[in-house]
Structure 1
Amino acid sequence: MFDNTFLESLLNSLKNPILFADTAHVVRYVNRAARRFYSGADELIGKSLLDCHNPRSCEIMQEVLERLAAGQDEELIVDSEKHRIYMRAVRDVDDRLIGYYERFEPPLGS
C-alpha cells in the first residue's frame, strides 16, 4: 500500500530522532531528526551500535534486546534531564523481532 518514499517521508516528518537497528545492533535507518541529533549519523548506517557505546551501555542494550525478543514491546533506557530514550521492538508479520528503534522524548515535566 505504501512505498518506501512515503514511509521515509513520514519518518522524516517526525521532530524526534528515530534510529532503527537490527537484532545484531547494526544501524539500518536514521531519520532527518536523528541526522541532526547524532554527529556523523549517516556514517552510522551499516555499523554496530555496540561499537559506539561504552561496555556498560552495550550490556544494557543486549539485555534489553533479549527482553524485546522475549515479547516485551518497549523499555526506557535513558531518563535524564535532557531526554528520555526508549528501545522499541519492531516485529515482522509473524511477530518475530527484526530489530528495534530508539525513540527520544523530552524529560517528564517539560
Structure 2
Amino acid sequence: MQTDINAAYFKSIIDQDRCSVVICNLKHEIIYMNPTAVKSYEKWGGESLVGRSLLNCHNEESQKRIQQVIDWFAADESHNLIYTSHNVKQNKDVYMVALRDAEEKLIGYYEKHEFRNAETMEKYDLW
C-alpha cells in the first residue's frame, strides 16, 4: 500500500465533505475542523474551538461515553468505527472513527456526521 500520498489530498477530501468532521488527538483536543464543522459549530465558537478540548462541548455522561469509545478503539486494531447517535431533526447519524498511524497505533479520532436525506442534486449536472 502506498503511504507517501501528499497530506494536501487528505485535507482536500475532508474539506470538501458536506458533513461536519471534527478531528481530535488522544487528549481530546480538537486539532482540525473542516469548513462545514466550523460553520455548524459557529454559535459555540466555530474555528476558535480548534486547540480546545472536545470534552468541554459535552456533558459528563457524554464525556464518559467518549472515553469509553477511545478505550474500545485502543483495545483492538479492528475497533475503528462506532455509531453514537441519530439526530432526528437533521436526519443524520453520528459516528466516532479511530485514526491510526502506519503501524495501526491509535493516534486520535474523529466525529463523522452522515445525513440520511436523499440527494436532490441532478446526476452529472455540470451546468
TM, length-normalised to structure 1:
0.89
User: 1:71-86 residue pairs with structure 2 within 5 A?
Assistant: 71=76, 72-81=79-88, 82=90, 83-86=92-95
User: 1:97-108 residue pairs with structure 2 within 5 A?
Assistant: 97-107=106-116
Kindly tell me the number of residue pairs found equivalent between the two proteins: 109
Instruction: Supply the distance in 2 between the matched residues of 1:78 and 1:92 (Cα, whole angstroms).
Output: 26
Of the three residues 19, 22, 29, the one matched with 1:19 is: 22
Identity %: 29
What stretches of structure 1 of length at least 5 have no aligned partner?
Answer: none
2:64 counterpart SS class: helix
Q: CA RMSD in A?
A: 1.6
TM, length-normalised to structure 2:
0.78
What stretches of structure 2 of length at least 5 have no aligned partner?
Answer: 119-127
User: 1:20-99 residue pairs with structure 2 within 5 A?
Assistant: 20-39=23-42, 40-71=45-76, 72-81=79-88, 82=90, 83-99=92-108
Residue 37 of structure 1: how far off its partner (Å): 1.0
Instruction: Supply the distance in 1 between the matched residues of 2:70 and 2:38 (Cα, whole angstroms).
Output: 23
